[in-house]
Amino acid sequence: MQIILCDTAAEVGVRAADIIEARVRQGPAVLGLATGGSPESTYQELIRRHREQGLSFADVTAFTLDEYAGLAADHEQSYCSTIRRELVDHVDLPLDQLHTPRGDAADLVAEADRFDASIAAAGGVDVQILGIGANGHIGFNEPTSSLSSRTRVKTLAGKTRADNAGYFAEGQVPRLCLTQGLGNIGEARRAVLVALGKNKAAAVRSMVEGPVSAWCPASVLQLHRRAVVVLDPGAASELALLDYYREAQDLNDQLA
Ligand code: PGA
């Protein structure tokens, strides 16, 4: 696992955007897109590069990670609407190349299988962007998720529902979701996880330095061949081997 330590959220966005841009400029690319606060600075930086440096997403196919069950794609709080607001509507990624699980599908189990198949049909994900929940989840793979799980219906953890309560009217936070599984995430050719703030520090420590365990779903990235974790000082603050990561980063930057 490669750890990149940054001074600010903006710098996290720049370092993550560098990895994404490098792949997008190589030719047709499949991106896995996370929603939420964590990738915001990354998406802002990609939008800036689109506007100012001609970075084009015309040949990008994108798959989001997850969706609330019961919400139509055009619901304000759906992750389909969210990713459009945060990134897609500000770049030249054609809407018919954006794939999101349908939270309002009549048959959610069939919808999960359909979504999984559409990722496979696109040839798999080249770069998967990830955030991490304070409880260690990635996507909506809550603690005790199978480490080889596929896209499926999941019950949201109480902590996740509490963390997202601010986006919904009282009592309206969905209880179920569709999420890509930890197996899907593991198959992405590159994984880039961004984390910001002290409230993610314990989860980041478990992910990077704890045992591989379904108790911290993000720890499955220890098994990934090309995982990069980009952190601000708060998110990095509980890591035991900070000095080692810093030294490795300096050497890597010199080699680049
Ligand atoms: P956040 O959520 O990026 O909004 O902090 C991350 C997550 O819960 O996966």
Residue type, 188: A
Say which residue, 188 or 160, is predicted with more confidence. Answer: 188
Q: Is residue 118 pLDDT above 90, yes or no? A: yes
Ligand 1 proximity of 82 Cβ (cutoff 6 Å): no
Quick one: pLDDT band at residue 213, thresholds 50, 70, 90? Answer: very high
CA 19–ligand 1 middle distance (angstroms): 20
- Kindly tell me if the per-residue pLDDT of 175 is higher than 90: yes
Q: Which CATH code fits 2-255?
A: 3.40.50.1360
Kindly give, in sequence order, each residue whose CB lies less than 8 Å from that of residue 194, ignoring residues fewer than 6 positions away: 12, 13, 16, 38, 39, 41, 42, 129, 130, 131, 230, 231
Q: Please report the pLDDT score of residue 55 as a whole number.
A: 98
Catalytic residue among 50, 67, 116, 137: 137
Could you give the angle at the alpha carbon of 44 between the alpha carbons of 176 and 206, nearest 5°?
A: 50
